Amino acid sequence: MMEYSLLTDIMKVLWRRGCYRFDVLHSFTDSSGYDVVLEADGKMRHVQLKSSYEGSKTATQKINISLAEKPNGCVVWFFFDEETLEFTNILWFGSSYGGGIPALGDRVAKHSKANAQGVKKERKAMRVLAKGKFEKLTDIQELVDRLF
């Protein structure tokens, strides 16, 4: 539901700016590193969406390295109020359009559940990205500026 709310807000900003050609394509699997492909006026972005409720202790996100293969890959991490479901913060990890995604680093993610021997195996295709690597945006309008 929060994904649809975010996409609606993005489309509202684009509409007010006179951009009436906007598409959203959803990925059925997470193997390519993105959740949605957004296209506005011929500019396309592969976007990994992450969400957390405001006040959560989440300090990192796991990002699939396949996202780096996309020419305009980025990660949008949004926070929302649990009561009102309003967005409270938006974090951005990406480059300007056409710049590719910044390096994801070398910290390999591990499975959240241990195997029968109690070992959490590495997920070689996933990297751990700290919250501090993200840039805080002021609002949805700034997010649209970054995307397109």
- Residue ranges per structural domain of the chain: 2-147
Q: Which of 80, 73, 82, 146 is nearest to 104 (CA)?
A: 73
- Give the whole-angstrom CA distance, residue 92 versus residue 80: 15
Domain 2-147 - what CATH class?
alpha beta
Q: What is the DSSP string of the chain?
A: -HHHHHHHHHHHHHHHTT---EEEEE-SSSTTS-SEEEEETTEEEEEEEEEEETT----EEEEEGGGGGSTTEEEEEEEE-TTT--EEEEEEE--STTS-PPP--S-EEE-SS--TTS---EEEEEEEEEGGGSEEESSHHHHHHHH-
Sign of CA dihedral 107, 120, 91, 23: positive
pTM of the model: 0.92
Give me the tens of pLDDT residue by residue for the chain, a chain 148 residues long. 899 999 999 999 999 999 999 999 999 887 889 999 999 989 999 999 999 999 899 999 999 999 999 989 999 999 999 999 999 999 999 999 998 899 999 999 888 887 888 888 888 889 999 999 999 999 999 999 999 9
Locus of tokens 């990002």? 63
Q: Report the C-alpha gap between 73 and 90 in whole angstroms.
A: 17
